[in-house]
Structure 1
């Protein structure tokens, strides 16, 4: 059961993962959590680094799709300035949102990656969907109140992961 939480990669920031690295691993689409992964939960504008990374993905022909548990209205408002497609009410840690997005693009499980900042939702959902995953550090230290319980439980999962997988470490990018 513990392996269900283990990310394929652990990268400090998604912005350091280049389209070339993704393509080298056969990845043709990036699915991403929204809050504290792409944008700070309290800053829907995003950072210059995010906008640069999104432009690089677009130039490389790699779609970026937001997979969020939030309502359609909340996600639409949050990604309005980013102009990103999304799947709302994804029910993470279940695989529904990831599977819907993957099938909509007509891609195999090996051709997508799920990016997120939480073991309890994002990494578990990726495993449930049978896709690879990238765990990133949260953009900011604070979370919405709905995430605080997950962070509390995550501490215990982290301890077990590190005990069973001592080589688990943060990387600068996928090639580190």
Structure 2
């Protein structure tokens, strides 16, 4: 039952995911969570690293789409600055937002990848939708009040999953050696 929370990959940061890795896996669109995955949860301004990663993806023909449980006003503000498509009110882990993304870009599930920092919403939702997933470490150690409860649950689930799946380790990329 808890295997529905298991990510396809675990990578330290979204910025370590490269177009080459994505193309190797036939990924055409990256669905990314917003808060603590793409940007800090408490700051709507993207870092230089974020901007460079997004430009690299765009230059390589990889779409980046923000899929967030946040309201449209919050997501739109950031997406407009970053010049990205977005799906607000995604209701992750439900399939609503994932279905919207798949239909909007007319892609098969195999061509999508979900990247997020929460297994309870991002990874569980992607798995339920049949989409590959990458769990990344949160950008900040702190969280908004509504995420703190999820983190307590996630800690228990992660401890269980890691015990049952010794291959679940943080990596530097989708296909590179385990972090030392």
Q: Same fold (TM over 0.5)?
A: yes
In the alignment, the residues of structure 2 paired with residue 109 and residue 80 of structure 1 have an alpha-carbon distance, to the nearest angstrom, of 26
3-state SS, counterpart of residue 139 of structure 2 = coil
In the alignment, the residues of structure 1 paired with residue 77 and residue 60 of structure 2 have an alpha-carbon distance, to the nearest angstrom, of 26
3-state SS, counterpart of residue 15 of structure 2 = helix
3-state SS, counterpart of residue 150 of structure 1 = helix
In the alignment, the residues of structure 1 paired with residue 158 and residue 175 of structure 2 have an alpha-carbon distance, to the nearest angstrom, of 23
Post-superposition CA distance 1:95-139 (Å, at most 9, x none): 110111111101001000000000100000001110000000000
In structure 1, the residue matched to 2:114 is 114
Post-superposition CA distance 1:13-70 (Å, at most 9, x none): 1111110110011101000000000000112111111111101110011110000001
In structure 1, the residue matched to 2:149 is 149
Question: 1:28·1:62 contact (CA, 8 Å) conserved in 2?
Answer: yes
In the alignment, the residues of structure 2 paired with residue 171 and residue 52 of structure 1 have an alpha-carbon distance, to the nearest angstrom, of 21
Are residue 99 (structure 1) and residue 96 (structure 2) matched? no
Unpaired segments ≥5 residues, structure 2:
none
Are residue 86 (structure 1) and residue 82 (structure 2) matched? no
TM-score, normalisation: structure 2: 0.95
In structure 2, the residue matched to 1:15 is 15
Are residue 55 (structure 1) and residue 55 (structure 2) matched? yes
Q: Which runs of 4+ in 1 moved over 6 A?
A: none
In structure 2, the residue matched to 1:165 is 165
- How much has 1:80 moved relative to structure 2? 2.8
Query: Aligned-residue CA RMSD in angstroms?
Result: 0.8
In the alignment, the residues of structure 2 paired with residue 57 and residue 29 of structure 1 have an alpha-carbon distance, to the nearest angstrom, of 9
Number of residue-to-residue matches in the alignment: 176
Structure 1 window deviating more from structure 2 (43-52 vs 120-129): it is: 43-52
TM-score, normalisation: structure 1: 0.97
- How much has 1:81 moved relative to structure 2? 1.5
Unpaired segments ≥5 residues, structure 1:
none
Are residue 140 (structure 1) and residue 146 (structure 2) matched? no
In structure 2, the residue matched to 1:71 is 71
